[in-house]
Structure 1
Amino acid sequence: MPLPLTYEFCARTDTGRVRSNNEDSVAVSRDARMVIVADGMGGYNAGEVASVMAVQILNRELRNRLVAAGGAADGELVREMLATGVERANAAIYQAAKAHAHYAGMGTTLVAGLFGDERVIIGHIGDSRAYLLRGRRLSRLTRDHTWLQEQVDKGVMTPQQAQRSGMRSLLTRAIGVDPRVRLEINEFPVQDADLFLFCSDGLTDSIDDAELAILLRDPLPLPRLAERLIQQGNALGGRDNISVLLVRAIEPGAAAPGDPG
């Protein structure tokens, strides 16, 4: 019987070249095998407050339970834990926005990955994304919760037209803006050498999926690859905060790409 996969993690976040503060928040819990990217929104520093709250609450709600459950935990149990954690984050952010006038309207996107021995459960809200590079093929694992994505789904716009549109920030779902939250959860199998990218829209607003695929195929160590993605996003304008979180699945005993072994 093959040994369970192990995982290598790397997270980077950057303010970009236009914004004065970073409203993205990222987190990696290696022992729980959990990753989170949140992209806040709202006036003043409210977006930063919302994204930090979401990450902190999810970490608090899930980390110890995931460690105790282990990588072979029942998928339905993991989904339930994730959904409950997001509901609690939503309630806390929504109440904080109502209680403090300078936080009014704040909210955050979210994409989270919970890795098991041979699968990953991904929950997302908004337009922060998850991708999988398997071999040389890049697949997008999340569907944006945006007005533009709805137009593409209806056939009103092509993906290329949506990529060029000036209305890309119109979200149809976010954490903290309504009393109830709609989290989308999906499960995917994981294979040796799979490379996962979790990112905020500061990266994907600048770099399309075709260029992302080219960048991710470079067999660099994860820290260098993360820095390269951020550098490219900034080179193309850096109009928003850019967050990149990379996860590579590794068969026990195998060397990671870029590792001399």
Structure 2
Amino acid sequence: MSVVSGTSGTGIGAINVNVFGMSDVGKVRKNNEDNFVVCNLTTGEVTLTPALCNHRLGPMGTLFLVADGMGGEACGEVASQLCSVTVPKRLFDNLKTVESVSETNFVLLLREAIEFANQVVFQKAQSDPAYRGMGTTTTAATLFGPYLFVAQVGDSRAYLIRNKAMVQLTRDQTFLNYLAEIGAELPAELEKDSRKSILTQAVGTSETVDVKVTYTKMRHGDFLLLCSDGLYNMVGGSDMLGVVNSQASLPARCKSLVDKANEGGGTDNITMIIAELTGPGLPPADLAAPVELRDVDKEDFKTPA
């Protein structure tokens, strides 16, 4: 089990990030093919292993990423680890080359970093028959000022918890969701359909990848939850919400979610990041404020809500 914890500083206009991540092999799998990473994109400090990560949200933001590898044997963990190392490094290096970073070019660089990671994983898979066919999901949430940008490939998830309600920020890129999008007839019992876990794309399984990016404006007191399917397939949404909304420490909340997933069967690796966002740099909490999720490919992106 690997763990990361961190707290940002405080000050006028500061955005404070309390974050904890955890990964567990579960009760069935022999290997843990999941990975997670937290990266301070201002300093380049990356946390992949148990360590404290103390920083105030800097001008270049913070990256939270969960990757769920696939491919059998050790291939899945190779793919997810490559992605978890490549994305933060590529994004940090590219941000350093930009004189003035706006929301628009920040998103372009986020998307490019995942596309680059796709090439790295794909080329590794093509160069060695032992890794042929490996790939990984990638859910990368980046806090840039008060805006949260979420880049998605695969079926790991990001949730926003506000006013004790939970909203899914990502859409699973699965075959059944694809059928729904094109208006095809769906099976009567979706949860029992053997195709529900078939992905329409993953990082590293083909030369190109279509990175979907959405964004929303965060508020003081919001929580962010990123997780692999090993959590949400074993623990219902109401149970996840109850744990995140509890008064326990973030490590205790993560541990409770892992325990619940294992009690539910633990059939897959279980990985999550929980981040609590506070501070005067965020709009104040508002009981009436809905979560407005937008697509960066829409025309209104240049003026985020």
Q: TM-score, normalised by structure 2?
A: 0.76
1:116 aligns with 2:144: yes
Q: Secondary structure at the match of 1:176?
A: coil
1:59 aligns with 2:59: no
Partner of 1:258: none
1:36 maps to a residue whose letter is L
2:142 maps to a residue whose letter is L
Distance in 2 of aligned mates of 1:112 and 1:201: 15
Distance in 2 of aligned mates of 1:169 and 1:148: 8
Equivalent of residue 234 in structure 1, options 252, 257, 262 = 262
Give a deviation string over 1:141-182, Cα, whole Å, max 9, x none.
Answer: 000000122345447448x94334443320001111111111
Structure 1 runs (4+) greater than 6 angstroms displaced: 67-70
Distance in 2 of aligned mates of 1:98 and 1:193: 45
Q: Secondary structure at the match of 1:220?
A: coil
- Shift of the 217–151 alpha-carbon distance from structure 1 to 2, 3 Å rule, reads farther
1:54 maps to a residue whose letter is C
Distance in 1 of aligned mates of 2:113 and 2:211: 11
Consecutive unaligned residues of structure 2, counting only runs of 5 or more, are 1-11, 44-60, 282-305
Distance in 2 of aligned mates of 1:16 and 1:195: 25
Partner of 2:299: none
Distance in 2 of aligned mates of 1:123 and 1:134: 20
1:64 Cα deviation (Å)?
4.9
Partner of 1:133: 161
- Shift of the 237–189 alpha-carbon distance from structure 1 to 2, 3 Å rule, reads same
Partner of 2:38: 28
Equivalent of residue 205 in structure 1, options 226, 233, 249 = 233
8 Å contact kept, 2:220–2:280: no
Distance in 2 of aligned mates of 1:170 and 1:233: 21
Equivalent of residue 104 in structure 1, options 97, 118, 132 = 132
Question: Which of the two has greater helix per residue?
Answer: 1
Give a deviation string over 1:58-103, Cα, whole Å, max 9, x none.
Answer: 1211235558979x94111111111111111111111111111110
1:136 maps to a residue whose letter is K
Q: TM-score, normalised by structure 1?
A: 0.88
Partner of 1:6: 16
8 Å contact kept, 1:15–1:241: yes
- Higher RCO, 1 vs 2 (CA within 8 Å, ≥6 residues apart): 1
8 Å contact kept, 1:4–1:117: no
Partner of 1:256: none
Partner of 1:39: 68
Partner of 1:16: 26
Q: Secondary structure at the match of 2:72?
A: coil
Q: Secondary structure at the match of 1:218?
A: coil
Partner of 2:200: 172
Partner of 2:119: 91
Distance in 2 of aligned mates of 1:115 and 1:84: 17
- Shift of the 151–206 alpha-carbon distance from structure 1 to 2, 3 Å rule, reads farther
Q: Secondary structure at the match of 1:168?
A: coil
Distance in 2 of aligned mates of 1:222 and 1:69: 35
1:183 maps to a residue whose letter is V
Partner of 1:50: 79
Distance in 2 of aligned mates of 1:205 and 1:161: 16
Q: Secondary structure at the match of 2:145?
A: coil
Deviates more, 1:32-41 or 1:119-128: 32-41
8 Å contact kept, 1:123–1:183: yes
1:217 aligns with 2:245: yes
8 Å contact kept, 1:125–1:175: yes
Consecutive unaligned residues of structure 1, counting only runs of 5 or more, are 254-261
Partner of 2:290: none
Percent of residue pairs bearing the same amino acid type: 30
2:17 maps to a residue whose letter is Y
